[in-house]
Amino acid sequence: MNQAQFLQQLKKAGYPTPVEVQQPPNGQLANHTHPFAVQALILDGYIEIDIAGETKKYEVGDVFQLAFEQEHAERYGPQGVKYLASRQTVN
């Protein structure tokens, strides 16, 4: 997916304008949650996300989604990862 398609998808789903996020090479975050839902488009590098014992790798052009307070862990590739992320709070 390209950035224009991603922005259009966010708008249709009611998500706000995304921000660019960068994570360090070979970094990681242990299991955690967020008080929001997220949709993100990978721009550079890759991220591996573990959810309920299943790992999925997201590379350039891929979109990942996390539900409100969905527990997950993250690992970043040797180049780190850069992505556009939009967060939607649940009321």
Q: For residue range 1-40, what is the model confidence (pLDDT) as tens digits?
A: 999 999 999 999 999 999 999 999 999 999 999 999 999 9
The token pair that represents 17 in the structure block: 């304008």
> What is the per-residue pLDDT for 60?
98
pLDDT of residue 91: 60
Q: Where are the alpha helices (DSSP H) in 14-66?
A: none
What average pLDDT does this structure show over 71-85?
Answer: 97
Tally of structural domains, the chain: 1
**What range does the domain containing 42 cover?**
3-88
CA distances from residue 3 to 29, 35, 69, 85 in whole angstroms, order as listed: 26, 25, 26, 11
In CATH, what number is assigned to the domain containing residue 18?
Answer: 2.60.120.10
pTM: 0.93
